[in-house]
Amino acid sequence: MTELYKRPDFILDEPFTYCPGCSHGIVHRLLCEVIDELGIRGDTVGICSIGCAVRIWNFIELDFIQATHGRALAFATGAKRANPDKCIFTYQGDGDAMSIGTAETIHAIARGEKVTVLFVNNTYFGATGGQLAPTTLPGQKTTTYPEGRTADRIGNPIRTCELLSTLDSEGYIARVALDTPAHIRQAKAALKKAFQTQLSGEGYGFVEFLGCCPSNLKLNSPVEAWEWIGNHSSKYFPLGEFKLPRSMQEV
Ligand SMILES: Cc1ncc(C[n+]2csc(CCOP(=O)(O)OP(=O)(O)O)c2C)c(N)n1
Ligand code: SF4
Ligand SMILES: [Mg+2]
């Protein structure tokens, strides 16, 4: 019998502690599949941030450094500069990378640090109970703004990929969604390009994953939470590639 598909064996045989339908599990799997396909398992170090995925090192057999909240890209900068031959990635939520860590994110990308960023945008501070994040959609209800986000009181959401792509440094920037099998395949392809851009020495890779946090969305089921990505989140945050390194540009 031909084996068509299997779980990367460095995803440990531990039950995920995420809520049913949470997008973090899918991103973990894509990460491992890409690392395996690129053959870089022994040379890769992850920097994990604070958020629901804080214990990613419990689920994946890989070297990890635990960063303080928002500072993953500062840790990654040091790790990569001290170990230029290693492949360094950060795994960050929207609260981590674009609220408390906004300065680290913008400056690391502006400096063109040659690392890869997995940015999981689920539009909430999931870990702490569903507070408003910089990426919470207009009108979306959160525990801190139960009446829904309004521009006059809190401003509009930040479109991170668009913002970062105005910086002159070289790298790869893409926004992908996790709501359908086709989108998940595209997400994996984008993540691979983000790692390849680091490995070729050209620059950074930044991938924003539009996911969901079913426990805080409080819809009727995780399935509705996944449909919400296509019906709401990706309407505000358009999918696509926002920056390509020179080697990926058509001449
Ligand atoms: C310095 C500091 N401030 C605040 C917190 C509380 N805190 C923990 S996780 C988190 C937000 C996480 O949100 P996000 O990065 O979007 O990750 P998610 O849980 O949604 O995946 C906050 C505010 C903290 N741990 N440390
Ligand atoms: S609170 Fe949200 S982000 Fe955290 S594990 Fe549950 S569904 Fe996932
Ligand atoms: Mg979040």
* Tens-place pLDDT, residues 207-227: 999 999 999 999 999 999 999
**215, 183 in Cβ contact below 8 A?**
no
For position 3, what pLDDT does the model report?
A: 86
**99 Cα: distance to centroid of ligand 1 (angstroms):** 9
For position 168, what pLDDT does the model report?
A: 97
**35 Cα: distance to centroid of ligand 1 (angstroms):** 26
Return the structure tokens found at 188: 């994996």
For position 237, what pLDDT does the model report?
A: 98
**50 Cα: distance to centroid of ligand 1 (angstroms):** 5
**250 Cα: distance to centroid of ligand 1 (angstroms):** 40
d(C-alpha 201, C-alpha 23), whole Å? 30
Q: Which residues of the chain have pLDDT under 70?
A: none
- Convert the pLDDT of each residue in 20-68 to its tens digit: 999 999 999 999 999 999 999 999 999 999 999 999 999 999 999 999 9
Residue 151, judged by CB atoms within 10 A of its CB (0-12, 13-18, 19+), counts as exposed
pTM over 0.85: yes
**167 Cα: distance to centroid of ligand 3 (angstroms):** 24
Residue from 52, 69, 100 whose mutation best tests the ligand 1 pocket (most atoms within 8 A of CB):
69
**Which of 194, 224, 17, 61 has its CA nearest to residue 119?**
194
Give the ranges where the chain is alpha helix by DSSP (H).
Answer: 24-38, 72-82, 94-95, 102-111, 151-154, 160-164, 181-199, 214-217, 222-228, 234-236
For position 158, what pLDDT does the model report?
A: 98
For position 6, what pLDDT does the model report?
A: 84
Tell the CATH topology of 24-248.
Answer: Rossmann fold (3.40.50)
Residue from 16, 96, 104, 142 whose mutation best tests the ligand 1 pocket (most atoms within 8 A of CB):
96
Cβ < 6 Å from ligand 1: which residues?
50-53, 69, 93-96, 100, 120, 122, 124-128, 133, 213
Residue from 16, 17, 23, 24 whose mutation best tests the ligand 2 pocket (most atoms within 8 A of CB):
24
For position 189, what pLDDT does the model report?
A: 98
